[in-house]
Amino acid sequence: MKSDVFSFGILVMEVITGRKNKGFSDPSNNGNLFEHEAQAHNPEVLRCIHIGLLCAQYHPDDRPSTASVVIKLGSETALAQPKQPGFFMEKESH
């Protein structure tokens, strides 16, 4: 079920960033989960972030299947470019 893949994508992002997704904005002005910049330059971590973003696509048809995610995690095959999340909100400039 693709909704399980969405939840997996969110979980991956939470584990990597060490933060829970707080919704659309963070009152501390640190941004939300999707605005967090990874400090690590480890290719495996970056690959997991990429896969997490693919899993968290807004439209279920844009998300990979569970079987595809398992294969992607265990290989070095090229990954599709994730689309901008449907709930992405730009920070206001002050």
In the chain, where the domains are located: 2-73
Report the pLDDT value the prediction gives residue 66, as an integer from 0 to 100: 93
Q: What is the tens place of the pLDDT at every residue in 3-16? A: 579 999 999 988 88
Identify residue 80 by its one-letter amino acid code. Answer: A
User: What topology does CATH give the domain 2-73?
Assistant: Transferase(Phosphotransferase); domain 1 (1.10.510)
65 within 8 A of 36, measured Cβ to Cβ: no
The structure's pTM equals 0.71
Give phi and psi for 79, each to the nearest 5.
Answer: -110, 145
Per-residue pLDDT reduced to its tens digit, 24-77: 555 555 555 555 454 556 888 889 989 999 999 988 899 999 999 999 999 999
